[in-house]
Structures are given as C-alpha cells and as structure tokens.
Structure 1
Amino acid sequence: MSEATTAVSPPKPAYRSRLLAEALGTLVLVFGGVGTAIFAAGFKNGVGGLNVGFLGVALAFGLTVLVGVYAFGPISGGYFNPAIALGMAAAGRIPWRDVPGYIVAQFVGGIIGSSLLFWIASDGPKGFLHKTVASGFASNGYGEHSPGGFGMGAAMIIEVILTAVFLYSVIGSTSKLASPGFAGLAIGLTLTLIHLIAIPVDNTSVNPARSLAAAIYGGPDNLAQVWLFLIFPSIGGLLAGFTFKPMMGGIAKARSSLS
C-alpha cells in the first residue's frame, strides 16, 4: 500500500445545523441592513442633521453579508437569500433537495430580524414607530414607493440584472479556481455596489427574504408590491446559475487540456 495520503474532506454539517446557520445569517443581514436604513439613514440631531444616507445603507448591507459569510459560511455556505440558494442549485453547487429548507429558514430568519427592529422602533421617541411604518419600514417598492419614482418595469429589469451579477460573484468567488479566503470580501463588496446602483430605483432587493421581512411591517401598499421582489430576484438567480455552470465546465476542460 502506498504511503501517500489523500486529502479527506471535512464532514458536512448536519442539515438542521445548516438551516439554523441560514436563519441566523439572514437575521443578521436584515437586522444590519434594514436596521441601518430605519435608524441611521434618516437620523437627525439637534445641530441640523446627521445621517448615513444611501452610501451608509449600501455599506451596511455589504458589511452584514460579509460578517455572515465568514461567521456562518463554513456551516451552510452562507447564502442568506432564496435567490442565491436557487442559483447555487441551478449551478450544481448544492442539491435541489436542500433548497426548500434553506428558503424557509431564510424567510424565518429575515422575519425575526425585522420583528426585532419593529420592537426596538416601538420603544423609540414619540411618533418614531408611526413615522417609520408610514415611510415603508425600508421596504422595496416601485412607482410612488420608489425612492426615485421609478416604475415597475425598471424594478423588474434591475432586480433580474443585479441579482444575476450578485450570483455570479457568489459562485465565482467560492469556486475551486478562486483565491481561498476572499469570498466574503468579494461578496460583501458586490452587494455594496449593487445597493449603490439600485437604492434610488426600488430600495434594492436582490433578496426575497429581505423584501418580505421589511414589507410585513411596511403597510398594505408595500406588501401588495412585494410579489415583484419575490419573483424577479429569483429569476435573476436562476439565470445566473444556469449560465454559469456551462462556463465553469468550459474552463475545466481548458485546464485539463493544458495539463
């Protein structure tokens, strides 16, 4: 018998552990990103105004996903987003049988995150909760609910395109050909860029769990529009997953032919 040893993959965490990690990661994402939009983006002090604005909210979403990827990624993969779970399955990176549980866990984690934010807002200054809910609770929207007044078609297009871009970043940065250890940074910066582009259009979704979590506290009008932010990010994720898989196959063939 040869004395050479072969690398053994570490045991895969139990499915329930992965679901818990996805729920916690989505909770952190919603709590950090939506929480910044609610508490800091419109903050006013006694001097004349101090707030983080669009840039701060974009950075908050990027930083929270970066934290989540490094904290929970080793357990579940660190998706925290139904569109990402669908896209990763389409790309052949996770089995389809795991997707329904991941999606349920992500929605549950997101709703817990927004519920905690609602609880905190209810103990804020007089009128704060009413104002926060009346302004949409950082929900996604189009038409009169778009920060910049953009219509439904613009929201559909940008959600498909930017979710696909996000998925490409996730798949590419976590592939065997990528530099190890930098996936979280790449994914976090990509999400920051996406928010810088899309906040004026529809307050940026690219994540159905984030959208539903905010909309349930954003009032009936925002809840009535949430269907778009459930469907079109999912389409973008699936498109990216199905198109990235053959590209990676072509790269693998090219590498094998050179070896």
Structure 2
Amino acid sequence: MNIRALAAETFGTFMLMSSILGSAFYSFGAPSGAAGILGVAFCIGITVMVTAFAIGHVSGGHYNPAVTLGLVAGGRFEFGPAILYIIAQLVGACAACGIFSLVGHTSPTFAANGYGDLSMLKATLGQVFILETVLTAFFLVVIMGVTRANHPSMMAPIAIGLALTAIHIMSIPISNTSVNPARSFGPAVYAGGEPLSQVWVFFVAPILGGIIGGLFGRWLLED
C-alpha cells in the first residue's frame, strides 16, 4: 500500500470534515449575517472539488468509506486497500473534530447527523435512512460516470463537488447530511450521547447506498 495514498485520504477527509464543521459552527452565527444552508453546501462542495484537483491523483480522492466500498462494488477499486483507506478516512475526520474542539464555539451535538430531535425537520429514522441511501447511490453513479475512461478527467472534480453541494442542499434539513460514515463518526465520538447512539444509521445507509450506486453504475456505464 502506498503510504502517500493513505496520507492523501487522511488529509482529504480532514479538510472535508473541516469544511463541514467550520461552515456549520461559524457561518450560521456570523455577525454580518448567516451563510445558511446554501453557504454550508457550497463550502463543502468547493472543498471536495479543490482537494480532488490538488491531491485526488494520489489516492483517487475518496474521503468517504461509502465511496470506497461503492467503488469496490463497481469494480473500480480493490477490497484489500479499501480497509486501510477507511481507517485513514476515520482518522482524518476525528482529527478535524479534535482541531475544532480546540478552536471552540462548537455546538453541543458537534454538527452530528441524526433523526428525531437531531433533525431540523424532526425526520424519522425511516425517512433519514431512505434519503441517505438514495443520495449516496446517486453520488456513486456520478463518481463512476465522471471517472470513466472516456470522460475528460479534469472535469471530474467539478462534477463531484457540485453533486455533493446539491446533496447537502437537499438533505441538510432532514439528516444534517452524511452520505459519508467518516463524516458522521467524528462528530458522534465528540458529541457522545444521542448522536453516538444514532451513528450506526450513518454507516449502514450510506454504505448500502454506495454499494447500490456502485453496482448500478457498473451496469449502466459498462462498455
């Protein structure tokens, strides 16, 4: 395993998690006016786009266990390295949470994902599970489509970043948007309590969606 690939996955996930926490913690309460859901969504999408441009060639720019496993299901990645990728992603997410815990001005839930009282719209477990599964599947189809052999490779980060932006606009009010188990794991660990008790949903639903999207994308895009 290329250690630089693992370092890239750790750093990329660190920056993705940082974009989520920074925009969630600080932009909503900015004295000059809240950036709101659109500001958060675009911050996240832009961060993924620029890190994919900068270091995506080193590791593939997954930054997400559901993406890694979805690409395994889609025949684009080997299962063996996937385990190390997932560990690197979880470490990157937790490291970002550690930095923001030092900076302070965080919320009690640490921007965790959830349903019920942890959802802006008080969505149910079933509603959250369905949306997280569907949107992660959509994300994987986009990734597989824009990274296929006959697609202009330099356009892929733009499409992936915009897809993630759209996903956040659609689902922040329902689940605070996960589609990424690493993104959910870090805040749940730091928040504890109810967010930690619900974190299993944000492993199962995104991974299920990633596998579905990987398999569907493989069938749909196969030459």
1:117-160 C-alpha deviation (Å, 9 max, x unpaired): 11111xxxxxx45xx22xx1111010111011111011000000
Q: Give the aligned residue type for 1:84.
A: V
1:138-189 C-alpha deviation (Å, 9 max, x unpaired): 1101011101111101100000000001111111111112123100000000
Equivalence for 1:204? 177
Q: Which runs of 5+ in 1 are unaligned?
A: 1-13, 122-127, 253-259
**Identity percentage of aligned residues:** 39
Equivalence for 2:3? 16
| Cα displacement (A) at 1:219 | 3.3
Correspondence 1:53-72 to 2 at 5 A:
53-72=36-55
Q: Give the aligned residue type for 1:75.
A: V
Q: Give the aligned residue type for 1:39.
A: Y
Instruction: Tell me how many residue pairs correspond in the alignment.
Output: 223
- Correspondence for 1:182 among 143, 155, 166: 155
Separation in 2 of the partners of 1:246 and 1:55?
Answer: 33
Q: Bigger shift: 163-172 or 215-224? A: 215-224
Equivalence for 2:98? 115
Q: Give the aligned residue type for 1:162.
A: L
Q: Give the aligned residue type for 1:229.
A: F
Does 2:129 match 1:146?
A: no
The normalised TM-score by structure 1 is: 0.83
Contact 2:141/2:216 (8 A) holds in 1: no
Equivalence for 2:27? 40
Q: Which runs of 5+ in 2 are unaligned?
A: none
Equivalence for 1:52? 35
Equivalence for 1:6? none
Separation in 1 of the partners of 2:154 and 2:93?
Answer: 26
Separation in 2 of the partners of 1:180 and 1:227?
Answer: 34
Does 2:135 match 1:162?
A: yes
Contact 1:33/1:64 (8 A) holds in 2: no
Q: Give the aligned residue type for 2:59.
A: S
| Cα displacement (A) at 1:218 | 2.2
Q: Give the aligned residue type for 2:156.
A: A
Q: CA RMSD in A?
A: 1.2
| Cα displacement (A) at 1:51 | 0.9
Larger radius of gyration: 1
The normalised TM-score by structure 2 is: 0.97
List structure 1 runs of 4+ shifted beyond 3 angstroms: none
Structure with more contact order per residue of length (Cα contacts < 8 Å, sep ≥ 6): 2
Q: Give the aligned residue type for 2:221.
A: M
Contact 1:38/1:138 (8 A) holds in 2: yes
Q: Give the aligned residue type for 1:22.
A: E
